[in-house]
Copies of this chain bind each other. A is one copy, B any other.
Amino acid sequence: VAVVGVGLIGGSIGLALRARSMAGRVVGIGRNPASLEEALRLGVVDEATTNLDRGVAAAEVVVVCAPVTEIASAVMRAARQGNPGTLVTDAGSTKRTIVEAVENDPAARAVFVAAHPIAGSERKGPASATADLFEGRVCVLTPTPNTPRDRLARARAFWQALGCLIVELDPIAHDEALALTSHLPHAISAALAATVPGDVLGLAAGAFRDGTRVAASDPELWTSIFRENRAPVLAALDRFGVQLSEFRRALEAGDSAALREWWAAAQARRLSFESQSARPPVSD
């Protein structure tokens, strides 16, 4: 198995593959020699190379764990350089633009199944990788009518073997859902962190701490995700704005009944989420 990108996600795939003896060899591919060396040293991969063409040549499976703006081109390149039996999949947080680009390339389309394992954290780099990152987590596959059925079956088996629960969605439905469940919460988290001035941070407590955790995430990574999923994120912001306006109106009017009702609806949604995720926990 070749893993393109050996950060938190790619590194965790490497560790999981090795822990589960799922691959004869795990080849890590990356641009940054220091990261590759660290990945080797940490036992995240068996081999490492900065040369994608060479890295994918003998792979049965290629998993592209690059920033979303770089995934489509890596997939196309891996499809051309890999052997014809290869399965190419990815771990990108957005799907529509990647799938569209790949499907315009017949060679790439013939080997690719788009995937999004919903797991991760605000940390980055191979040192944050863990073998159980995908255990019990949802992995969304976004096949289209053009996706080869045999590769889809293999992708399903591959992500399942890493511990994932498979969900299939249309790429657009995926992007719209994730704009709400992940991209919006990340934007809100960063906006909240930036709002609270440094001189009162000493008084901040749990609500701020948990609400801004993911604001520590990599700016580059999130810039790419927001750009790739612009329209759904803007739509999610609109929905959020409606909620915030309702709250502001009730507060301006000093309307206790409206405030109570508004909060109770939010509380109900949260409690519904908690009861759903009393099933396997999903992290991100």
A78 in contact (CB, < 8 A): no
Which stretch from A6-14, A106-114, A197-205 is at the chain B interface? A197-205
Which of A's residues lie within 8 Å of B, judged by CB?
118-121, 137-138, 140, 167, 177-178, 180-182, 184-198, 200-217, 219-220, 222-223, 226-227, 230, 233-234, 236-237, 239-244, 247-248, 251-252, 254, 256, 259-260, 262-267, 269-274, 276-277, 282-284
Interface contact A204-B181, CB-CB below 8 Å: yes
Interface contact B198-A185, CB-CB below 8 Å: no
So how many copies of this chain end up in the complex?
A: 2
Kindly list chain B residues whose C-beta atoms are within 8 Å of the C-beta of A178.
203
Kindly list chain B residues whose C-beta atoms are within 8 Å of the C-beta of A207.
182, 185-186, 189, 213-214, 284
Q: A234-B251, A243-B195 are in contact. Are A226 and B277 (CB under 8 A)?
A: no
Q: Could you list 22 A-B pairs, sorted by A, with CB under 8 Å?
A: A118-B203, A181-B196, A184-B195, A189-B211, A193-B270, A194-B266, A195-B240, A195-B242, A201-B273, A202-B276, A204-B282, A206-B213, A209-B277, A210-B211, A215-B266, A215-B270, A216-B267, A223-B260, A230-B252, A233-B251, A234-B252, A237-B244
Kindly list chain B residues whose C-beta atoms are within 8 Å of the C-beta of A283.
205-206, 209
Interface contact B212-A273, CB-CB below 8 Å: yes
Q: Which of A181, A251, A262, A263 has the most CB of B within 10 A?
A: A263
Q: Which of A227, A230, A273, A277 has the most CB of B within 10 A?
A: A273
Kindly list chain B residues whose C-beta atoms are within 8 Å of the C-beta of A237.
244, 247-248, 251
Q: A177-B200, A215-B270, A272-B201 are in contact. Are A208 and B182 (CB under 8 A)?
A: yes
Interface contact B203-A177, CB-CB below 8 Å: yes
Least CB distance from A222 to B in Å reads: 5
Interface contact B196-A263, CB-CB below 8 Å: no
A243 to B283, CA, bound (A): 26
Kindly list chain B residues whose C-beta atoms are within 8 Å of the C-beta of A242.
195
Interface contact A191-B269, CB-CB below 8 Å: no
Interface contact A191-B243, CB-CB below 8 Å: yes
Kindly list chain B residues whose C-beta atoms are within 8 Å of the C-beta of A203.
118, 138, 140, 167, 177-178, 181-182, 282
Interface contact A273-B118, CB-CB below 8 Å: no
Interface contact B211-A185, CB-CB below 8 Å: yes
A216 to B272, CA, bound (A): 10
Kindly list chain B residues whose C-beta atoms are within 8 Å of the C-beta of A118.
203, 205
Q: Which of A204, A213, A215 has the most CB of B within 10 A?
A: A204
A226 to B256, CA, bound (A): 9
